[in-house]
């Protein structure tokens, strides 16, 4: 079953064509990776899927609905959350608070929530309790339970990356976008992230991943999409991609391809 379908996405910034006519589908429950050299348009594509940018042309179909014109803040409600290539945490909030903000869409909104907060109704405490339980569950899943009250900015780098995943994972999204979750991590941390992604997949959450670590990409992806200069040059199973001449020339290089062949 297809959860996300991109139809002919084109996006230019001034004279630079960041993406031209990119189309592919993401199957529900799978891990799909986007790879390609720097500047290939991977992050731009993420920004378009999370509705942060509007494409010049093309459509984004999520669960059969056209979400091209959705607002940024509506994405989380639809079930799409993401992490960022450059970590964007709420640095002066604690780990717990960060995850609770991630759960923002999971509680009553508007005046009802304001009324509840001011008068501290039973509903308020019930909601807070439920949110906290869920937050703690996610925090434990990512192994951050010793840092619940630590300010995000005082966390070591690797844990900041994990906290970002926790925040995005908290509302149980249908589609999780991970933008280079292992950037700047060592070998041990990369394999940890790999385990985490596989577990997330087991939860039934579809993962779309941007990654440069070929070990990770080839190890866990069900499908790989390769971008180069804003153009999709290949897509398919990891084994097919490894042996694709175009991909080897544009991105993998001879040696790397042999290593993972």
Partner 1 sequence: MLAKIKDEFSSLSKRDILILSALGIIALLPIIHYLAIGGTTSYYLDVSIKVCVYLLLALGLNLVIGYTGLLDLGFIGVFGIGAYTAAIMSIHGYHFLISSLVAIIMAMLFRLIIGLPVIRLRGDYLAIATLGFGEMVRIIVNNLDPLTNGPRGLPGVGQKISNIDFGILSLNSSLEVYIFSLIVVALGALASYRIEHSRIGRALVAIREDEIAASLMGVNVSKLKLFIFVISGIYGAVAGIIYTHHIKFITPNLILFWDSILLVSIVVIGGIGSIPGTIVGAILFYGVPELLRDFLGSQLAEFRMLTFGLIMLLMIIFRPQGLIPSERRKYELKPETEKVKEEEDENLFDLEKR
Judge contact between 167 and 144, C-beta under 8 A.
no
- What helix, strand, coil percent values describe the chain, rounded to 5? 45, 25, 30
| Segment near partner 1 (CB under 8 A); pick from 8-16, 107-115, 155-163, 241-249 | 107-115
Where b means 16+ CB within 10 Å and e means fewer, 123-142 reads: ebeebeeebeebbeebbebb
| Segment near partner 1 (CB under 8 A); pick from 24-32, 36-44, 72-80, 214-222 | 72-80
CA angle 28/29/30 to nearest 5° reads 95
Among 104, 201, 212, 229, binds partner 1 (CB under 8 A): 104
The residues near 32 (Cβ < 8 Å, ≥ 6 apart) are 26, 206, 207, 208, 209, 221, 222, 223, 224, 225
Specify the residue, 82 or 223, whose C-beta has the smaller distance to partner 1: 82
154 sits near partner 1 (criterion: CB under 8 A): yes
Among 73, 203, 243, 246, binds partner 1 (CB under 8 A): 73
Specify the residue, 88 or 237, whose C-beta has the smaller distance to partner 1: 88
157 sits near partner 1 (criterion: CB under 8 A): no
76 sits near partner 1 (criterion: CB under 8 A): yes
| Segment near partner 1 (CB under 8 A); pick from 70-78, 182-190, 236-244, 249-257 | 70-78
């Amino acid at each position: 079953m297809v959860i996300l379908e991109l139809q002919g996405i084109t996006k230019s910034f001034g004279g630079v064509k960041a993406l031209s006519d990119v189309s592919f589908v993401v199957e529900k429950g799978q891990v799909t990776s986007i790879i390609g050299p720097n500047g290939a348009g991977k992050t731009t594509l993420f920004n378009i899927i999370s509705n942060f940018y509007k494409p010049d042309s093309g459509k984004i179909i999520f669960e059969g609905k056209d979400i091209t014109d959705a607002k940024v803040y509506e994405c989380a409600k639809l079930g799409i959350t993401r992490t960022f290539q450059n970590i964007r945490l709420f640095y002066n909030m604690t780990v717990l608070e960060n995850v609770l903000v991630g759960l923002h869409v999971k509680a009553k909104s508007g005046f009802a929530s304001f009324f509840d907060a001011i008068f501290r109704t039973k509903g308020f405490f019930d909601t807070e309790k439920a949110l906290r339980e869920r937050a703690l569950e996610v925090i434990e899943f990512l192994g951050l339970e010793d840092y619940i009250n630590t300010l995000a900015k005082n966390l070591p780098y690797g844990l900041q990356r994990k906290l970002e995943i926790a925040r995005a994972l908290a509302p149980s999204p249908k589609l999780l976008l991970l933008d280079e979750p292992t950037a700047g991590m060592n070998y041990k941390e990369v394999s940890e992230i790999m385990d985490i992604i596989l577990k997330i997949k087991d939860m039934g959450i579809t993962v779309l991943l941007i990654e440069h670590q070929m070990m990770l990409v080839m190890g866990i992806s069900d499908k790989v999409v390769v971008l180069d200069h804003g153009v999709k040059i290949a897509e398919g199973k990891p084994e097919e991609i490894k042996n694709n001449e175009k991909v080897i020339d544009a991105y993998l290089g001879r040696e790397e391809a042999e290593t993972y062949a």
